[in-house]
Amino acid sequence: MDPELESRNEWDSPEQENDIEAEEDRAPLAAEEGDEPDDGRQWYVIHTYSGYENKVKQNLEQRIETMGMQDKIFRVVVPTEEEVEIRDGQRRTSRKRVFPGYVLVQMILDDESWYVVRNTPGVTGFVGSGSEPIPLSQEEVDKILERMEEEKPRIRLNFRVGETVRITEGPFADFMAVVDELYPERGKVRLLVSFFGRETPVEMDFMQVEKV
């Protein structure tokens, strides 16, 4: 989680995995300064039952339409990012929730819009100080939305520095090695392979090793 969000009340995300369907739409990047109407609209964070983020988004968007709130509630976003998991030599791509249990809502806050959002099934409350919702800064919103649009997916590995792995391909296939350093941006890992009684550093692709 971004450091600037840690100080906000109720922003502690549950520690669990949350797969997102591949067809989940990405939110567009934040509008450039001056593009958004100066009508008091701001971004707020609502807390939901974990695992119900997409359902809450669907429910709220339906309520906005049926209750004619399009002029006060504008966008509902479940922050996600693309993640590639390397497990047993297999590459699995999915979209993961950035903040499980939370949904972003762009709205003009008043009693009516607060009521519509707060009483949406699955919503447990607004993030704020006491009973008062606190809006996110535009800088915070921009960072979250830009994170959703990053071209490079986040690499998730099931091994760490210092752990023993097995090499599955190449001249050192079936050798055991110790993870010395990770290079997620390149999809590489440096290993220490015991060869003729000496530790030899070798660089391999993430796909060429597996956890023991």
Q: What pLDDT, in 10s, does the model give residues 151-170? A: 666 676 777 888 898 888 88
pLDDT at res. 102: 93
Q: Residues of CATH 3.30.70.940 domain(s) within the chain?
A: 3-153
pLDDT at res. 151: 61
Q: Residues of CATH 2.30.30.30 domain(s) within the chain?
A: 159-211
Q: Which parts of the chain sit beneath pLDDT 70?
A: 1-36, 86-91, 150-154, 156
Q: For the domain made up of 159-211, give the CATH fold.
A: SH3 type barrels. (2.30.30)
pLDDT at res. 11: 38
> Which pTM does this prediction carry?
0.60
pLDDT at res. 168: 86
How far apart are alpha carbons 116 and 60 in whole angstroms?
A: 8
pLDDT at res. 137: 92
Residue 143 sits at φ, ψ, to 5 deg, of: -65, -40
pLDDT at res. 174: 87
Sheet with 164-167: strands ordered across? 198-205, 188-195, 176-183, 164-167, 209-211
Burial 8-19 (b: 16+ CB within 10 A, else e): eeebeeeeeebe
Out of 2.170.190.11, 3.30.70.940, 3.40.50.300, 1.10.580.10, the CATH code matching 3-153 is 3.30.70.940
pLDDT at res. 107: 96
Residue 28: count other Cβ atoms within 10 Å of its Cβ: 11
pLDDT at res. 204: 86
